[in-house]
Amino acid sequence: MQSTTRITTGLRGSRAGSRPWLMGAMWLVLGIYVLHLHFPGYGVGEQKETWLSLLPVWIPAVVCWLAALRTRQFRGQLSFAAAAVTCYALGASYLAAAQALHEVRPFPSPAMVGFLLFYALILACLALLVHRQRRGLPWSVVLDCTVGALGAAAVVAVILTSLLDSAVLTGSVAPTAVAAAYPVLDLLLVAAVVGIAASPELQLGRRWILLAGGLLMFAATDVAYALLVLDGSYLSGTPLDAGWAAGLTLVAVWVDARSRPDTSVNRALKGAWALIVPTVATATALGLLLVASRVNVSAAAVVLAGATLAAAAVRTQLAFRQLVRMSELRKLARTDDLTGLPNRRAFYADAPLQLAGDAAQPCALLLLDLDRFKDINDSLGHDAGDLLLRQIGSRLVVATRPEDVLARLGGDEFAVVLHGADAERAKTAANRLRAALTKPFTLEGLTIQVTASIGISVSPDHGTDVKTLLRKADIAMYKAKSAHSGHHVYVEADNVHGERRLRTLHELRLALLGGEFVLHYQPKVNLATGEVRGVEALVRWNHPDRGLLYPEAFLAIAEEAGLMHALNDVVLGLALDQAAEWRAQGHPLSVAVNLSASCLADPQLPMRIGTMLTERGLPSTALIVEITEEFLMEDCDRARAVLTGLRTIGVRISVDDFGTGYSSLAYLRDLPIDELKLDRSFIAPMRHDPRAAALVCSTIDLAHSLGLSMVAEGVEDGVIYEALARYGCDQAQGYLMSRPVAAEELDNWLTGRRRALAAVAYPSGFTDFSW
Ligand code: C2E
Ligand code: CA
Ligand code: CA
């Protein structure tokens, strides 16, 4: 029982409220009335005839009120509709009563109040309906509605030409006003209905057709009646009389349906169909104006048709402006706002068209990535980086043909699709693009040299879709970058390398966050005393799957990916932590840390290092930075700035792998350098080659003459160790003494060595060791 109640409540306002018997009765009565009008004189008495004419207008009124009272959501608009139908029914009843009493129909009669109120109330209902549908209608919708409404009004005005004219010509003022009111109100009603129908944006559901149909039928009957009356050919009791009741019945069905939830899918018309009503209205208004030049139509019709065209013109203007705005938006969405070149989105849209252009022709995709752009961004700031990208964009435009697709994919990455280009032509184009960048760029008064690496993939050999070609060009680009070859055409073998590289890169980023890097330390032995005052810190990656990795397995990738700064900070942090620990244990060892050439681009480096030392309570002598000759060669002015900054805070500077680069003596003299580390490629041959030994000897003298101390790297045997000591070399580092080892292992090694030194007290400290 309870559940039945709940179901009934749940269905309230849906099936339960529709009272099918009442709806059935409404249709039945209307049907009988129409039949009666069609076959008059079927024994229905005059009395009954009156009732039969009133029932089809009163039942809709009842249906409307029941529905309006049933719903809460739409009570306002449905009450207006119910009141409208009731007013009409009251007017009709008054007329019927007057007729039954054989009274002459007064003109204007009180019935007219009811009829006129019908229009006012139903128009109010429509207004509420539209208002509920959309608040803040866009102007385009309002204009569509206006065009539709005016067009429809113009058509009705033509039909009513004679009526409107006669109303104006009729004698007394009051009857004229009332007589003119009906056609004008019909015109308004039709205009409102068509106006609402003109915009599919007003989604009124499929039921709307009932209300529109009912009101149009009502207005049509009214107009036909008025015209017939004017013509003097109106006959009471024809099926035309049922027109009003039929219209009201449809209105009542709509009201009833509206009081129930709408489950129909509201499909708005799309594309050209959406504009069907305004288009027809405009065409009709135009036709009407043409006809008006030959035939007599009411002035109102001409005015309305003119207004329709004016509204349509405004609508067109608006549509045009919207179109321009849309195309501007589209252009904006496809443009890279920094360089003005097409962006990634545009590239993905245009490149497939180029690729598909002529299947017989090959197509090449070039992916250009600037070398060390991150350094420029980091050191000169993003504004300078942006400025550079803009200038590069302009140069690339000049270096490509108009038919090529050139785009900035993001960051410092540009892509070009060359139609009709095989690998050879792509290489020529790559050279042209790179050549376009050789002339130095000027940024904020600085002259900057920029190079780029270009990866090339060719369709159809390497793939036919943009995604595959881009991926392969990307792999080829990294190959070009690591080989410093400028450009590289993809080959299948790159893929394996490329994928491993990508994986390593991903893991590297995680490792930097996850503390997977450790340092090994290799001692530097004083050749005169045998003492160890300093160590070199060498980074290793404790890879979770691949075990301990040496620098050559990941440094180049970190450098390419611009992760060197982060790695550098990690290494510095670990090395200084260890230095602080040794100092705390009473063994103040200096730590030498390797700085990659890219660190030169970081003007903040000296300051950061200073902070790191202070935080750990370390003197600046605790740190030595090892730089390569490459570092000095890259940009002498900036190298000087960074090195001077380091020198100012008291950090010593050592030139690593000395002899392998091309640094001139002038650099050594001018730059604030403390130490040279002679590369092991000079040390190993000393044993067998007297010329090599002589070279090492004179280089040691040279260093000393410049006021620099000398460290020999890669010392692997005792003979060399002794020779170096003889030549006056300051320190030695190599496997002979110790490989790079973890800090604890180095501690053990140092302890053993101190003990041995103390026991034997040999000044040189070498011959006593049993390595
Ligand atoms: P490097 O600075 O010249 O470091 C010396 C390299 O020579 C080390 O290789 C070391 O293990 C090796 N070595 C030392 N003694 C001997 C010897 O007697 N014989 C031979 N054959 N080799 C010896 P490792 O550790 O693999 O480092 C290689 C390079 O990686 C380093 O060369 C340095 O350029 C770079 N590197 C290492 N750690 C770092 C770091 O933390 N930051 C940066 N930027 N670079 C680093
Ligand atoms: Ca080094
Ligand atoms: Ca070295």
Spacing, Cα 648 to ligand 1 middle (Å): 27
Q: Please check whether residues 481 and 519 belong to one and the same domain.
A: no
DSSP state string for 187-241: HHHHHHHHHHHT-TTS---TTHHHHHHHHHHHHHHHHHHHHHHHHT---TTSGGG
What's the pLDDT at 342? 93
Ligand 1 pocket, residue 714 CB under 6 Å = yes
Of 600 and 411, the one with more pLDDT: 411
Domain final position from 459, 490, 521: 490
In a domain, 452, yes or no: yes
Ligand 1 atom 8 nearest Cα? 538
CB atoms within 10 A of CB 327: 10
Tally the residues of the chain: 771
Ligand 1 pocket, residue 656 CB under 6 Å = yes
Ligand 1 atom 34 nearest Cα? 594
Domain count, the chain: 3
**Residue 278 · residue 147 · CB < 8 Å:** yes
Of 74 and 345, the one with more pLDDT: 345
Q: Please check whether residues 598 and 476 belong to one and the same domain.
A: no
**CA-to-CA distance for 768 and 754, rounded, in angstroms?**
12
Ligand 1 pocket, residue 594 CB under 6 Å = yes
Ligand 1 pocket, residue 551 CB under 6 Å = yes
In a domain, 495, yes or no: no
Ligand 1 pocket, residue 735 CB under 6 Å = yes
Ligand number, closest to the Cα atom of 517? 1
The average pLDDT across 598-602 equals 78
In a domain, 462, yes or no: yes
In a domain, 666, yes or no: yes
Spacing, Cα 278 to ligand 3 middle (Å): 82
**CA-to-CA distance for 716 and 733, rounded, in angstroms?**
9
CATH number of the domain encompassing residue 484:
3.30.70.270
Q: Please check whether residues 742 and 644 belong to one and the same domain.
A: yes
What's the pLDDT at 4? 37
Domain final position from 263, 293, 317: 317
For residue 56, give the 3-state DSSP assignment.
Answer: helix
Q: Please check whether residues 673 and 732 belong to one and the same domain.
A: yes
In a domain, 496, yes or no: no
For residue 280 the two structure tokens come to 């027809």
Q: Please check whether residues 430 and 525 belong to one and the same domain.
A: no
In a domain, 750, yes or no: yes
Which tens digits make up the pLDDT trace of 413-460?
999 999 889 999 999 999 999 999 999 898 877 778 889 999 999 998
Which atom number of ligand 1 is nearest to the Cα of residue 628? 34
- In terms of residue numbers, what domain contains 185? 17-317
Tell me the pLDDT of the chain averaged across its residues: 84
Spacing, Cα 768 to ligand 1 middle (Å): 27
Q: What percent of the chain has pLDDT over 70?
A: 87
Please choose, from the candidates 752, 741, 743, the residue with its C-alpha nearest in 3D space to the C-alpha of residue 581.
743
Q: Please check whether residues 30 and 127 belong to one and the same domain.
A: yes
Determine phi and psi for 493, rounding to 5 degrees: -60, -25
The average pLDDT across 575-583 equals 97
Of 226 and 711, the one with more pLDDT: 711
The average pLDDT across 696-717 equals 92
pLDDT band per the 50, 70, 90 thresholds, residue 45: low
Q: Please check whether residues 182 and 212 belong to one and the same domain.
A: yes
Which tens digits make up the pLDDT trace of 716-769?
999 999 999 999 999 999 999 999 999 999 999 999 988 887 776 644 444 444
Tell whether the model's pLDDT for residue 8 goes beyond 50. no
In a domain, 498, yes or no: no
Domain final position from 455, 490, 525: 490
Tell whether the model's pLDDT for residue 397 goes beyond 90. yes
Ligand number, closest to the Cα atom of 717? 1
Q: Please check whether residues 709 and 590 belong to one and the same domain.
A: yes
Q: Please check whether residues 575 and 605 belong to one and the same domain.
A: yes
Q: Please check whether residues 283 and 396 belong to one and the same domain.
A: no
Q: What percent of the chain has pLDDT over 90?
A: 41
User: Best of 522, 536, 538 to mutate for ligand 1, by most ligand atoms within 8 A of CB?
Assistant: 538
pLDDT band per the 50, 70, 90 thresholds, residue 638: confident
User: Best of 594, 658, 720 to mutate for ligand 1, by most ligand atoms within 8 A of CB?
Assistant: 594
Spacing, Cα 713 to ligand 3 middle (Å): 7
Of 459 and 104, the one with more pLDDT: 459
Ligand 1 pocket, residue 596 CB under 6 Å = yes
Which tens digits make up the pLDDT trace of 512-522?
988 899 999 99
The average pLDDT across 145-162 equals 83
Q: Please check whether residues 442 and 546 belong to one and the same domain.
A: no
Tell whether the model's pLDDT for residue 672 goes beyond 70. yes
Q: Please check whether residues 292 and 158 belong to one and the same domain.
A: yes
CB atoms within 10 A of CB 556: 13
The contacts of residue 19 (CB under 8 Å, 6+ apart) are: 63, 66
Tell whether the model's pLDDT for residue 64 goes beyond 70. yes
DSSP state string for 366-418: EEEEETTHHHHHHHH-HHHHHHHHHHHHHHHHHHS-TTSEEEEEETTEEEEEE
For residue 335, give the 3-state DSSP assignment.
Answer: strand
pTM for this model (two decimals): 0.47
In a domain, 270, yes or no: yes
CATH number of the domain encompassing residue 629:
3.20.20.450
